[in-house]
């Protein structure tokens, strides 16, 4: 699983994001399982206190997904899709920011996520976590695939 920034280069990932401004990356998954597979890619919005997925204990993040992609990939092939996002509504005051509304691919979600100023990194830390789930044909259930990527973000002032 991977993220591609504007221009397809890692250094072009958005990090400092201004409220009300749209940003884009591409998300992608490669299938190397030996057969076709069906996947779900869940998008979760987190602050610095939310737990990331844990590949060691094989548990997904406890944060509820906001958006999902469902797709199938033949063996040896890749799937890619655009991800456009913005913090469309929020506040920054003193040592706290609140991302109130997050837009993902044109859909608005009320998130009301606070973040406190981190003086060590000079950021209000948020992240979009992309969790990969694989359809299990034996149990007929989607199961966490122990893979995820995160897009770290610093919420700045309005544009």
Question: Can you name the residues that pair with 45 across neighbouring β-strands?
Answer: 128
Contact 48, 63 (CB under 8 A): no
Predicted confidence (pLDDT) per residue in 112-122, tens digit: 999 999 888 88
Predicted confidence (pLDDT) per residue in 83-96, tens digit: 999 999 999 998 99
Dihedral angle over CA of 146, 153, 30, 131, nearest 10: 30
Question: Please, what is the end-to-end C-alpha distance for the chain in angstroms?
Answer: 31
Residue-wise over 62-96: b if at least 16 C-beta within 10 A, else e?
ebebbbebeeebeeeeebeeebebbbbbbebeeee
| CATH assignment, 2-158 | 2.60.40.3880
Q: What is the pLDDT along the chain (159 residues), one digit of tens a residue?
A: 676 654 444 456 889 999 999 999 999 999 999 999 999 999 999 999 999 999 789 999 999 999 999 999 999 999 999 999 999 999 999 899 999 999 999 999 999 999 999 888 889 999 999 999 999 999 999 999 999 999 999 998 765
Length of the chain: 159
pTM of the predicted protein model:
0.91
Mean pLDDT of the chain: 91
The predicted pLDDT at position 13 comes to 82
């Amino acid at each position: 699983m991977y993220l591609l920034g504007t221009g397809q280069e890692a250094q072009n990932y958005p990090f400092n994001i201004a409220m009300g401004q749209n940003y884009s990356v591409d998300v992608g998954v490669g299938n190397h399982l030996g057969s076709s597979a069906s996947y779900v890619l869940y998008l979760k919005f987190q602050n610095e206190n939310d737990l990331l997925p844990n590949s060691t204990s094989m548990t997904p993040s406890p944060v509820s997904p906001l958006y999902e992609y469902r797709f199938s990939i033949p063996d040896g092939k890749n799937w890619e899709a655009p991800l456009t996002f913005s913090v469309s509504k929020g506040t920054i005051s003193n040592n706290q920011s609140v991302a109130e509304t997050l837009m993902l691919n044109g859909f608005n979600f009320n998130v009301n996520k606070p973040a406190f100023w981190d003086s060590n990194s000079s950021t209000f830390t948020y992240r979009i976590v992309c969790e990969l789930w694989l359809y299990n044909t034996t149990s007929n259930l989607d199961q966490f695939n122990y893979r995820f990527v995160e897009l770290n973000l610093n919420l700045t002032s309005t544009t």
